[in-house]
Every structure is written in C-alpha cells, then in structure tokens.
Amino acid sequence: MSDRYTSFVNSPMGQTIAKNLGLPQPVSLDRYTLGDALVSGTVLVGQAAGGSAVSAIASLLKSANVSAATLADTDLEAELSKSSVKVTNVAADTSDKFKAVVFDATGIEEAADLVSVYEFFHAIARKIEASGRVVIIGSTPELCGVKKRTAQRALLGFIKAVGKEFKKGITANLIYLEDGADKNLESTLRFFISERSTYVSGQDVRISKTIANKVDDWTKPLAGKAIVVTGAARGIGASIAEILSRDGAHVICLDIPPAQEDLNQVAAKIGGSALPCDITADDAGERIAEAAKAHGGLHAIVHNAGVTRDKTLANMDDKRWNMVMNINLISQEKVNAYLLENNVIGKNGRIICVSSISGIAGNMGQTNYAMSKAGVIGMVEGMQGELKNGITINAVAPGFIETEMTAAIPFAIREAGRRMNSMSQGGEPVDVAEAIGWFASPASSGVKGNVVRVCGQSLIGA
C-alpha cells in the first residue's frame, strides 16, 4: 500500500518542510533480501561485569562472519578474539559508527550496577547508524531473586526509552535469557541484530533453556519442512508464505474457496501448494493433516487468517460477533486440538499465531476483534506449558501494517495509526513474516510462549 507522506518527506524539499514544521520524519527502513550480510556494518559489543552471554555472542559473530568492536575494553576484546571474532578495540570518543550494538547485561545483580548501562550507552548514543539495532541481553527477571529481578526488569524501561529516542529507524530490544540458555540464543540474536527485525522495537523476549537444535544453513533454516499458512491468498499471509518458502519450507497455502484464484497464484509463485478450505469448517484439521501427509508431516502451522467486522457494541449484530470470534480464535483452538491429538505436528514443531495490538490495547468499535486477539494471547500463554516433544507456541501482535485490511480504515484514523509509533510509518507485511520465520526456525526451540509486537513501537497499548 502506498505511504505518500513517507515518500514525500524523504525527498529533499519534503525533508526541509517536515523539519521546519516539526512534522514526523519517517526514514526509509532497511529490509533484508536474500544474499544480504547478517549485519551491513560493525557490531559493537559491551558488557556489564560478571556477564555470561559473551561466548554465545562471539560464536554467532564468528559463524556469521561479522566484524565486531569493543569500546575501550581490552579484556572484552581479548575474549572475543579468543573465539576467532574479527574485533577492534576503539577509544570511548571514537568517531566510528556502528550498525548494531549488543550489550550483555546478564551480570547486573542490583540497581546500583545499572550505571554501567548508562556509561556504555551514553558514550555511543550518537554513534549508531540509521536502521541500526540496539540489543540488550539480560537475565529472565521472574527467575531471579528480588534485587536482581528489580535491576533486570529496569532494563526494559531503558530499552523502551531508547527505542523512542534514537530515531532514524533504530530499533531497541531486550532478550531475557534463562540461566544456561546460551545455546538457545543464536536464532533470536540473529533476528534482532539483522534487517529482518526492522519494524520490531521496544520488545522483550524470553529464551528458555532447552535442547538447542542446530541449523546447518542459516539461509535455508526450514529446508525439508512443510508449513501451513492460513489466510495466505493475500496481505500478511501471502508474505508469510513467501518468506517461509525463501527460508526453505514447502508452504501449504490455505484460504477460503472464493479466494482460490489468488491462492493458486501465491502457491505457484513460491512452488508451494494451495489448500482451499474455510478454517472454521468442521473438517479443517483433517484437511490440513491430509495435505501435510504428502510432504512427510507438518513442521508448523501459522494461524494468520483473521477478519475484522467493526461496530460499536451497541450496534453489533451477533453475525459480526460470531464470525470474528469463530475465525480469529475458536477455529485456532479446534485446529490445534486436532493436530496435537493426532500427532500431525512433528517433534520440535511450531504453532505460530497472529494476534494484534488491538488485542493488547482494545480499540473503539472492535470489542469482537480485540476479544478474539486477546484470546489468542491467552491461548499462547496457556498452551505453552502443556506442549510436549519440543513443540513451541508463540504469537506476533502486529500494529499498523500496510494491507487491504488497513487500507479500508477511514483516512484520519488510518493516518494516526500509521504515524503513532517510533518509526512514524506503517510496517510492511514482510515485517510480520520475518518475525514468523524466526519463530518457525528449528533453532528457535528456546523461544516459547512469547507474544512479540511487530508495531514499530506503537504507542497503542504500549
């Protein structure tokens, strides 16, 4: 969908006008395309005393062949070079700029230690390139004693403020690591320091300790896997299908029979298969299982199909209410139950849901939609503890994404939704798709029960 304002303010005249009038100045965001380096620049690494994540950071930088820098910290430089990372130690007042910054804060034990976060980021606050990445790795607060929990939880306020302050398309996110989960860090850190997470900011993600599944080829982490994507005929679903296919999966694209022409086109473009099926049909689970059989079983299902039928509650008829609840929530519960009871989803499989920031914040005229999408979050939280065989469940909660769904919103509300975030622009379907690719990766076995907003750090429900 077109965002003429963003194109305008990125023209020389538009830039001057926007600056003088104090208007939002969205920058053009970097997005990943196949063949791009993981990071198109240097990654600055920092550490609070006593941290335990540096060796996991080093192993990623080495395997991705990324150059690193340290800031007046020869001990850290030595530690990274010991792991064969290409690293340079730079002075605190360096004029160098960095594409990504990763700070290991796992060693922070109490509030007084937080000053090390200030000291490090104060020195480099103006040294991050446009579309840069700030990532802090902390310890999961709920698993810490009171003093450490307090300090670790404090990091989230810092990250959210950085996400709002640094501008220029710079994102800031926090990865909370369970003790001993270092081997499960790589897929998540890869996502957050790369261009794949361009519209994800102000988020905290928890990584649990579990079996770490290796990926042989990070450009094709889903090779040999079959994945069903519901609502794949257009919009976000079509983009999810494309990205999962790019990452090596055979994608079974599911949508309602009236959308079959578009569905066939999406499936043909990516060499996937088309499954015309209403996800609310009684036999939807069976149909999915049947389609997966031909591809050696199912690695993952992405519950993307969703609809809005907005009306204020007083004006809402039961048809609108039931349609939204059935498609957006109840069908997911039924299909999950069928797939799990019949062992259709394989070992280390994935259930990935699409919620919405409307399910977090609520929205005028969307009692049905907000309730269904909040229910999706409840389902993720509830099911995670019950899943076996390494199967995980996670959800994305998109904010304003440029699709036909949001193009139908009245102009003034649409424009407000688009601008009220740290990026001052809407996201693209591919931004949601990339987050789903990260959840789907076999290497993401430690990513469980997370709800990650893909919203450019929208102010709504933050």
Kindly report the backbone phi and psi dihedral angles of residue 62, in degrees, each rounded to the nearest multiple of 5, phi listed first: -70, -50
Where in 56-161 does DSSP place strands (E)?
68-71, 87-90, 98-104, 128-139
DSSP 158-204: HHHHHHHHS-TT-EEEEEEE-TT-GGG-HHHHHHHHSGGGTT--SEE
User: What minimum distance in Å lies between the beta carbon of 162 and ligand NAD?
Assistant: 25
Q: Is residue 462 within the footprint of ligand NAD (CB under 6 A)?
A: no
Which region among 25-33, 46-54, 137-145, 228-236 touches ligand NAD (by CB under 6 A)?
Answer: 228-236
Q: Which residues pair with 138 in a beta bridge?
A: 176
Q: Is residue 400 within the footprint of ligand NAD (CB under 6 A)?
A: yes
- Considering only 306, 346, 349, 375, the residue that binds ligand NAD (CB under 6 A) is 306
User: What minimum distance in Å lies between the beta carbon of 150 and ligand NAD?
Assistant: 33
Could you tell me if 459 and 420 are in contact, meaning their C-beta atoms sit under 8 angstroms apart? yes
Instruction: Please identify, using beta-carbon distances, which residue of 282 and 404 lies nearer to ligand NAD.
Output: 404
Q: Is residue 374 within the footprint of ligand NAD (CB under 6 A)?
A: no
User: What minimum distance in Å lies between the beta carbon of 206 and ligand NAD?
Assistant: 22
- Considering only 230, 394, 425, 444, the residue that binds ligand NAD (CB under 6 A) is 230
DSSP state of 254: E
Could you tell me if 253 and 272 are in contact, meaning their C-beta atoms sit under 8 angstroms apart? yes
d(CA 323, CA 328): 8
- Considering only 304, 424, 444, 450, the residue that binds ligand NAD (CB under 6 A) is 304
> Which amino acid is residue 317, in one-letter code?
D
Token representation of residue 52: 């335990």
d(CA 179, CA 446): 12
In the shown chain, the binding pattern of residues 242 to 281 toward ligand NAD, with x for contact by CB under 6 A and - for none, equals -------------xx--x------------------xxx-
Instruction: Please identify, using beta-carbon distances, which residue of 79 and 278 lies nearer to ligand NAD.
Output: 278
User: What minimum distance in Å lies between the beta carbon of 196 and ligand NAD?
Assistant: 18
Q: No. of H helices and E strands in the chain?
A: 17, 14
Q: Is residue 143 within the footprint of ligand NAD (CB under 6 A)?
A: no
118 catalytic per annotation: no
d(CA 18, CA 456): 20
User: What minimum distance in Å lies between the beta carbon of 16 and ligand NAD?
Assistant: 31
Q: Is residue 406 within the footprint of ligand NAD (CB under 6 A)?
A: yes
Q: Is residue 329 within the footprint of ligand NAD (CB under 6 A)?
A: no
Q: Measure CA 131 to chain center.
A: 16
Could you tell me if 355 and 399 are in contact, meaning their C-beta atoms sit under 8 angstroms apart? no
Q: Is residue 401 within the footprint of ligand NAD (CB under 6 A)?
A: yes
Which region among 30-38, 179-187, 241-249, 298-306 touches ligand NAD (by CB under 6 A)?
Answer: 298-306
Token representation of residue 46: 């920092």
Interface residues with ligand NAD (CB under 6 A)?
Answer: 230-231, 233-237, 255-256, 259, 278-280, 304-307, 327, 354, 356, 398, 400-401, 403-406
- Which active-site residues does the annotation give? 369
